[in-house]
Amino acid sequence: MALSLENLVVSHAQNALLKVNVCVNDGEILTVMGPSGAGKSTLLQAISGQLHAPFSVSGKVKINGVVVNDKAAHLRKVGIMFQDALLFEHMSVAENIAFAMPSGSYANQQAKMDTIDEMLGAVDLKGIGERSVTTLSGGQQARVSLLRTLASTPDVVLLDEPFSKLDIALREQIRSWTFKQLKERNIPAVLVTHDKEDSLAAGGQIIELSPC
């Protein structure tokens, strides 16, 4: 199992907020649903290592069989997509993607830029590498945001309602494309959403959180 949450309990000041026991296979998208306050985003923070006092975690978060509870967030190889693209506005499209690429993974700068061009071409954004991200549409920004996440070669991807601000037609298109990219790369993912259509499109397990 690429992502395993074993008897995971997230607490706030000693009070249990949520309990999860689930495994997510390579290429599978687990959907987490529940009312506001049930702890959906808190669960993602626990997985990514970004949960801080007064919150605490017990149980195990395993990625590729390794317990990562004590690993710092930047060492867990967990990518995150939010409602907003959160691109760096002072950087070009290519610079945004390059920022996430592991250092030392490419022979030279040209090899890195060639890889970025290929990535953009694969999502119908060929030739926009030098453009400012502020000139992009919402759908284009969403695609660049996911490319930047994938460029970091994550072992797990967390999706925190990333489609909620897109209009219906664009939402379906970006959702389908995002899920396709994750499944083709065999990356396990956790999707937090209020939308049942998102959960159906994900095609994986669905868990419903409720306050403890």
Q: What is the pLDDT of residue 1?
A: 53
Give the lowest-confidence range in 104-108, 162-166, 168-172: 104-108
Q: How confident is the model at residue 139 (pLDDT cuts 50, 70, 90)?
A: confident
Q: What is the pLDDT of residue 211?
A: 61
Q: How confident is the model at residue 107 (pLDDT cuts 50, 70, 90)?
A: low
**Long-range contacts of 12-20, Cβ-Cβ distance < 8 Å, separation of 24 or more:** 12/54, 12/55, 12/56, 13/54, 14/56, 15/212, 16/212, 17/42, 17/55, 17/211, 17/212, 18/42, 18/43, 18/209, 18/211, 18/212, 19/212, 20/207, 20/209
Q: How confident is the model at residue 133 (pLDDT cuts 50, 70, 90)?
A: very high
For residue 183, CA distances in Å to 170, 187, 209 come to: 20, 6, 24
In this predicted structure, the answer to whether residue 167 has a pLDDT above a threshold of 90 is: no
In this predicted structure, the answer to whether residue 93 has a pLDDT above a threshold of 90 is: yes
In this predicted structure, the answer to whether residue 203 has a pLDDT above a threshold of 70 is: yes
In this predicted structure, the answer to whether residue 212 has a pLDDT above a threshold of 70 is: no
Percent of the chain with pLDDT over 90: 58
Domains and CATH numbers, the chain: 1-77+157-162+186-212 (3.40.50.300)
Residue 7 — φ and ψ, nearest 5°? 50, 45
- The pLDDT tens digits of the residues spanning 57-87 come to 999 999 999 999 999 999 999 999 888 888 9
- The pLDDT tens digits of the residues spanning 141-154 come to 988 998 999 899 99
Mean pLDDT of 178-199: 93
Residue appearing with tokens 């599978």: 28
